[in-house]
C-alpha cells in the first residue's frame, strides 16, 4: 500500500529526502546543546577562560545550525507533502476518468469525493509528520537518553519508570481509538451523499416542502459523525494528562535526587549545570514521546484513508484496448450477434438476451419499449460503454472490442435524455463535440438541431454563459444544445436516447427532417416514448423485458404487434375519439 502511494511523489522526491536529513541535523544540534552547556558550566567553575570562549562559540554555532535546519526542513516538508497530495489527487482523478461504467458502479459519487478530499488531506498530514516529526522524535528520544547518561550514570534511570508507563498508556489509547476512526470515514461518505442529494434535488425538496425532513436526515448523519469523533477525542484526551504526569514526575525526581547529589558532593563532577542539562534532556525525551503518540494517532486515522485511496488506484478498468486496435471505423453498419448481457457476473438475470439485429449504414432506427425494457442498455453496447457477456457487437463489420476505444467513441455520438451542460459559454459547450470546430460549423450544427433560433435571441448569442448543469436554459433548449454538440462530432452513428422528450412535436419533426436531409449517410438510432418520434423510421425495434419482441415498420407493427398497438392507441386515443365523433 505504501509503495503504491509513494509512486505519486514523483518530482517531489528531492524534498522528501532532504527533509529527514535536515531533521537529523537539527536534532543533533539540539541534543548537543545541553551537553555543551554542561561543559561550558564546568569551564566556568574551573575558571578556564579559553574553554569558556570555545564552548560558548560552539553553543552559538549549534543554535544557528539547528535554526536553519529546522526552517529548511519545515519548508521542504510543506512542499513535499502538498506536492504529494496534488499528485495523489491527480492520479486518482485520472484513474476515475479511465473507469468503465462497471467500475464506477462500485463507488458512490459521494465516496469518491470524500476520497479525493478528506482522505487525501489525512494522508498528506501523515506524510508530512512521517518525513519530519517521525524522524525527529525517535532520534530526539534516543540521543537524549544517550547524552543524559554521559552527564550522569544514575539519574537517567528515572526514565526506566516513566517511559514504560507512558508507552503502555499510548498503546491503550491507540487500541481504543483506531476502530472508531475506521467507522468515521463511512459516515463521511453518508454525510457527503446527503448534501449532494439535497443540493441536486433542491427543486423537488422545495416543491414538496420537505426541507424539514432533509434537515432532520442531515442532522442525524452529522450527529452520528460528531458522536464518533467525540468518543475518539475523549480517548485521545487521556494521552495529554498522562504525558504531563510523567513529565512532571520525572522533572521532580531528577530535581530532587540531582540536588541531593550536588549538596552531598559539592566538588564532584556533577554540578548545577549538569542538573540543568538533565532537566532539558528530560523535557526532550518526554516531548519526543508525546510527538510519537501524535504520529501514531494521525497514522491510525490516515491508515483507513490510505486504504480507501489505494482502492481507487488499484481498481482496473474492465474495458481495455486490444494490443493492436483497429484505428478507423469504416461505416455505420451495426450488428448484434447472439448478444446476452448482464451488468455483473454475479447478476442472476440478464438485462439483454437473445439479441440478433442488423442495422445498415444510413438507416434510421426507432426503439420503443416500456420502462425497464433495456433500451438504454442496448445502445450502451454500441460505443462499448459496457462489454457484452456473450456474443458480439460489430460496428463497420468489426467487433467493437477490436477498436481503439477513443476512435470508436468518436465515431458514435450519444445524446442522453438527461445530458449534461458545463459551466461556460454556449460555444465552449458545443466544442466538446469538436474542439477545433469553427464558428460556422457550430452555427450549422445548431441550425440542424433547431437551436440557432433561440441562441440568436440571447444578447450575447453563442457567447451566452451557461451555468453549471445548464440550469439557466430550459429542458428543451438543453436537449437541442446537446444534440448540436453531438452533431459537431460528425459521427457515423448518432444515438438519441429519449433526447427529444422535452421539445414540442413541431421541433421534434423538424429535427427528424433535418437529420434526413443533412446527414443521410449517418446511422440514426432514436429511442423514444412517443410513437410520433419514430413512426417515420426505416425500422422500429420493440423491446420487451430485455429481448426483441418484433422489428418492423410503423404500419407492420401497428397491424401485428400488441405492445406497439397499445402504446400507439394510448397516445392517440383522444384523436381517435375525435374522428369517431
pLDDT at 271: 60
Mean pLDDT to the nearest integer, 418-422: 82
Asked if residue 470 lies in contact with residue 478, where contact means CB atoms within 8 angstroms, the answer is: yes
Mean pLDDT to the nearest integer, 275-281: 75
Q: Is the pLDDT of residue 269 over 60?
A: no
> Using CA of residue 472, residue 477, residue 481, residue 483, what is the dihedral sign?
positive
Give the single-character DSSP code of 401.
G
Q: In what order do the strands lie in the sheet with 412-416?
A: 412-416, 493-497, 523-527, 364-369, 539-544, 547-552
Q: Which of 246-255, 461-470, 565-574 has the lowest mean pLDDT?
A: 246-255
Give the single-character DSSP code of 318.
S
**Going by DSSP bridges, is the β-strand pair 493-497/523-527 parallel, antiparallel, or unpaired?**
parallel
CA distance 183 to 190: 11
Per the model's pLDDT, the better-predicted residue between 197 and 330 turns out to be 330
Which grid coordinates are listed for 275? 542538573
Among the listed residues 98, 256, 252, 123, the one whose alpha carbon sits nearest the alpha carbon of residue 185: 123
Note if the pTM is more than 0.85.
Answer: no
Q: Is the pLDDT of residue 15 over 80?
A: yes
pLDDT at 47: 59
pLDDT at 579: 38
Residue 552: band (very low, low, confident or very high) from pLDDT cuts 50, 70, 90: very high
Structural domains of the chain sorted by starting position, each given as residue range(s) with its CATH number in brackets: 2-314 (1.20.1560.10), 334-551 (3.40.50.300)
CA distance 17 to 11: 12
Asked if residue 27 lies in contact with residue 85, where contact means CB atoms within 8 angstroms, the answer is: no
Query: If you count them, how many residues does the chain have?
Result: 581
Asked if residue 95 lies in contact with residue 120, where contact means CB atoms within 8 angstroms, the answer is: no
CA distance 487 to 496: 11
**What are the E-state strand segments in 396-537?**
398-399, 412-416, 424-425, 465-466, 493-497, 523-527
Residue 578: band (very low, low, confident or very high) from pLDDT cuts 50, 70, 90: very low
Per the model's pLDDT, the better-predicted residue between 271 and 539 turns out to be 539
DSSP 263-294: HH-TTSS--HHHHHHHHHHHHHHHHHHHHHHH
CA distance 487 to 432: 11
Among the listed residues 486, 541, 551, 497, the one whose alpha carbon sits nearest the alpha carbon of residue 519: 486
Give the single-character DSSP code of 118.
I
Q: What is the largest CA-CA distance in the chain?
A: 128
Query: What tens digit of pLDDT does each residue of 225-268 get?
Result: 888 878 877 777 777 787 778 777 877 887 777 777 767 665 45
Mean pLDDT to the nearest integer, 119-139: 88
DSSP reduced 3-state for 331 = coil
Asked if residue 519 lies in contact with residue 491, where contact means CB atoms within 8 angstroms, the answer is: no
Mean pLDDT to the nearest integer, 274-279: 73
Q: Which of 116-125, 257-266, 494-503 has the lowest mean pLDDT?
A: 257-266
372, HSE (Cβ side, Cα atoms, 13 Å)? 2
pLDDT at 41: 65
CA distance 416 to 406: 19
CA distance 281 to 267: 23
The most confident of the ranges 208-217, 239-248, 289-298 is: 208-217
The CA distances from residue 189 to 96, 114, 487, in Å, are 17, 6, 38
Asked if residue 501 lies in contact with residue 476, where contact means CB atoms within 8 angstroms, the answer is: no
Asked if residue 394 lies in contact with residue 366, where contact means CB atoms within 8 angstroms, the answer is: no
pLDDT at 161: 78
pLDDT at 19: 92
Q: Is the pLDDT of residue 425 over 80?
A: yes
Centre a 10 Å sphere on the Cβ of residue 402 and count the other Cβ atoms it contains: 15
Mean pLDDT to the nearest integer, 82-106: 88
Among the listed residues 158, 82, 150, the one whose alpha carbon sits nearest the alpha carbon of residue 120: 82
Cβ contacts of residue 416 below 8 Å, gap of 6+? 482, 497, 498, 499
Q: Is the pLDDT of residue 427 over 50?
A: yes
CA distance 20 to 433: 49
CA distance 354 to 339: 6
Asked if residue 379 lies in contact with residue 371, where contact means CB atoms within 8 angstroms, the answer is: no
Q: What is the mean pLDDT of the chain?
A: 84
pLDDT at 340: 94
Host H or E run for residue 508: helix 505-518
Among the listed residues 179, 187, 196, the one whose alpha carbon sits nearest the alpha carbon of residue 221: 187
Q: Which of 104-113, 182-191, 263-272, 552-561 has the lowest mean pLDDT?
A: 263-272
Q: Is the pLDDT of residue 132 over 70?
A: yes
Mean pLDDT to the nearest integer, 505-533: 90
Which grid coordinates are listed for 156? 537517567
Q: Which of 268-272, 405-409, 498-502 has the lowest mean pLDDT?
A: 268-272
> Using CA of residue 390, residue 406, residue 502, residue 551, what is the dihedral sign?
negative
Radius of gyration of the chain (CA): 36
pLDDT at 576: 42
Q: Dihedral angle at the C-alpha atoms of 225, 227, 229, 233, nearest 10 degrees?
A: 170
CA-based end-to-end distance of the chain: 76
Asked if residue 308 lies in contact with residue 182, where contact means CB atoms within 8 angstroms, the answer is: no
Among the listed residues 105, 121, 113, 276, the one whose alpha carbon sits nearest the alpha carbon of residue 199: 113
> Using CA of residue 527, residue 528, residue 533, residue 539, what is the dihedral sign?
positive
Amino acid at each position: 500500500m505504501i509503495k503504491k502511494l509513494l509512486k505519486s511523489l514523483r518530482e517531489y522526491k528531492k524534498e522528501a529526502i532532504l527533509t529527514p536529513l535536515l531533521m537529523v541535523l537539527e536534532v543533533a544540534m539540539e541534543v548537543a546543546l545541553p551537553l555543551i552547556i554542561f561543559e561550558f558550566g564546568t569551564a566556568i567553575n574551573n575558571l578556564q577562560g579559553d574553554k569558556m570562549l570555545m564552548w560558548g562559540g560552539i553553543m552559538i554555532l549549534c543554535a544557528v545550525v539547528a535554526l536553519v535546519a529546522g526552517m529548511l526542513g519545515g519548508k521542504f516538508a510543506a512542499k513535499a507533502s502538498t506536492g504529494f497530495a496534488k499528485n495523489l489527487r491527480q492520479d486518482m482523478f485520472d484513474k476515475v476518468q479511465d473507469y468503465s461504467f462497471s467500475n464506477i458502479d462500485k463507488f458512490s459519487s459521494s465516496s469518491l469525493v470524500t476520497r479525493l478530499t478528506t482522505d487525501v488531506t489525512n494522508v498528506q498530514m501523515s506524510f508530512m509528520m512521517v518525513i519530519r516529526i517521525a524522524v525527529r522524535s525517535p532520534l530526539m528520544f534516543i540521543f537524549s537518553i544517550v547524552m543524559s547518561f554521559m552527564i550522569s550514570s544514575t539519574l537517567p534511570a528515572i526514565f526506566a519508570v516513566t517511559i514504560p508507563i507512558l508507552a503502555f498508556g499510548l498503546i491503550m489509547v491507540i487500541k481504543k481509538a483506531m476502530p472508531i476512526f475506521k467507522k468515521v470515514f463511512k459516515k463521511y461518505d453518508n454525510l457527503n451523499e446527503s448534501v449532494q442529494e439535497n443540493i441536486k434535488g433542491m427543486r423537488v425538496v422545495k416543491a414538496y416542502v420537505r426541507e424539514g425532513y432533509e434537515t432532520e436526515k442531515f442532522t442525524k448523519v452529522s450527529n452520528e459523525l460528531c458522536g464518533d469523533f467525540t468518543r475518539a477525542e475523549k480517548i485521545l484526551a487521556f494521552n495529554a494528562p498522562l504525558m504531563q504526569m510523567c513529565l512532571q514526575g520525572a522533572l521532580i525526581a531528577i530535581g530532587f535526587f540531582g540536588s541531593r547529589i550536588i549538596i552531598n558532593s559539592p566538588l564532584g563532577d556533577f554540578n548545577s549545570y549538569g542538573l540543568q542539562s538533565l532537566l532539558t534532556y528530560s523535557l526532550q525525551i518526554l516531548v519526543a514521546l508525546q510527538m510519537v503518540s501524535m504520529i501514531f494517532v494521525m497514522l491510525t486515522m490516515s491508515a483507513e484513508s490510505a486504504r480507501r485511496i489505494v482502492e481507487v488506484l488499484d481498481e482496473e478498468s474492465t474495458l481495455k484496448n486490444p494490443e493492436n486496435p483497429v484505428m478507423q471505423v469504416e461505416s455505420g453498419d451495426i450488428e448484434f450477434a447472439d448478444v446476452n448481457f448482464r451488468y455483473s457476473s454475479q447478476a442472476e438475470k440478464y438485462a439483454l438476451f437473445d439479441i440478433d439485429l442488423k442495422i445498415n449504414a444510413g438507416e434510421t432506427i426507432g426503439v420503443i419499449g416500456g420502462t425497464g425494457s433495456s433500451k438504454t442498455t442496448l445502445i450502451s453496447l454500441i460505443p462499448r460503454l459496457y462489454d457484452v457477456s456473450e456474443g458480439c457487437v460489430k460496428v463497420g463489420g468489426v467487433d467493437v472490442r477490436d477498436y481503439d476505444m477513443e476512435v470508436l467513441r468518436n465515431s458514435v455520438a450519444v445524446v442522453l435524455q438527461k445530458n449534461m451542460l458545463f459551466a461556460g459559454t454556449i460555444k465552449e459547450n458545443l466544442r466538446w463535440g469538436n474542439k477545433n470546430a469553427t464558428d460556422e460549423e457550430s452555427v450549422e450544427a445548431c441550425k440542424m438541431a433547431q437551436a440557432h433560433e433561440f441562441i440568436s435571441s440571447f444578447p450575447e448569442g453563442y457567447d451566452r454563459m451557461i451555468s453549471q448543469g445548464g440550469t439557466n436554459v430550459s429542458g428543451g433548449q438543453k436537449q437541442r444544445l446537446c444534440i448540436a454538440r453531438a452533431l459537431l462530432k460528425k459521427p457515423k452513428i448518432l444515438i438519441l436516447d429519449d433526447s427529444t422528450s422535452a421539445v414540442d412535436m413541431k421541433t421534434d419533426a423538424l429535427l427528424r427532417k433535418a437529420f434526413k436531409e443533412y446527414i443521410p449517410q449517418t446511422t440514426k438510432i432514436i429511442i423514444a416514448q412517443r410513437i410520433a418520434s419514430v413512426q417515420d423510421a426505416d425500422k422500429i425495434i420493440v423491446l420487451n423485458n430485455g429481448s426483441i419482441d418484433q422489428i418492423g415498420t410503423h404500419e407492420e407493427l401497428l397491424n401485428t404487434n400488441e405492445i406497439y398497438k397499445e402504446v400507439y392507441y394510448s397516445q392517440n386515443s383522444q384523436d381517435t375519439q375525435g374522428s369517431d365523433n
